[in-house]
Amino acid sequence: MEQPAEAVKPARARFKRIAAVAVLVTVGVLAFGVYRIVDAGRHATRQTLCVHNLKHLFLGLEAFAKEHDGQLPARLSELWPKYLPDLEVLVCPEVQAACLRECGVSHPFPPNPSPEDMDALCSYAYVPGHTLKDAANTVIVYEKRDNHLGKGRSLLCLDGRGAWEPPENWRGGPPNRNLPPGFREPAGATSLSSSRSSVSASPAG
């Protein structure tokens, strides 16, 4: 026995609504998955660029040392602007992205920053007191804090090797066993005092 047309229409309408909701949910799940993949790709790219920042920074350090009998500068601000004209090199790409979102600029430095401004706003801690003749595995620059969602930090060795260290290698401070006497880390940086393990990171980028 056939159902009246009036009874069939509401049933079809309900089915169409359920199908539309299912399609919307599926599209939403797929869109979220694509967003997660794209976002993860962005973070991976910034991680690589962070290591490249330090490799670029080494070129400035090396140029300075060659003009000062092999001695590296007392602070990174001595590199600007002659040896390091681009201040963005001193800012982690993750911090750059946050600056662009919140302030519309790619770095936090004011015009003509003072040495104190540069030390405070730089994303990287610098270990002074070395020469180019010191041990090649000496860590001379490292990220002050984890800007990479808990995945690790970048560092720079005296041989110009930029490297990436996962979180487990930062327990007690950045991997380093060649700190100069009397070294005082900058405010906000991870403590180095209890860490003396040798560098074991693989080059990134």
pLDDT at 203 over 50: no
Which pLDDT tens digit goes with each residue over 136-176? Answer: 888 899 888 878 877 888 889 999 988 887 777 666 555 55
Is residue 3, in this structure, part of any structural domain at all? no
Three-state DSSP class for 28? helix
Q: What tens digit of pLDDT does each residue of 178-193 get?
A: 454 455 555 555 543 3
Residue partners of 144: CB distance under 8 A and separation at least 6? 122, 123, 124, 125, 186, 188, 189, 190
18 pLDDT more than 80? no
- 162 occurs within a structural domain: yes
pLDDT, position 148: 83
Reported confidence tier of residue 41, pLDDT bands at 50, 70, 90? low
* Assessment of whether the complete model's pTM goes beyond 0.85: no
Please report whether residue 41 resides in a domain: yes
Q: What is the pLDDT of residue 152?
A: 82
The answer as to whether 190 is a domain residue is: yes
Residue 40 lies in a domain: yes
Give how many domains the chain has, as a whole number.
Answer: 1
Q: What is the DSSP letter of 1?
A: -
Instruction: Please give the average per-residue pLDDT across 23-47, as a whole number.
Output: 59
**1 found inside a domain:** no
Domain that includes residue 194, residue range: 8-203
- Dist CA 148 CA 88 (whole Å): 17
Residue 79 CA to residue 69 CA, distance in Å, equals: 15
The answer as to whether 166 is a domain residue is yes
Instruction: Tell me whether residue 2 is in a domain.
Output: no
Instruction: Give 76-119 pLDDT, tens digit per residue.
Output: 999 999 999 988 899 999 888 888 888 888 778 888 899 999 98
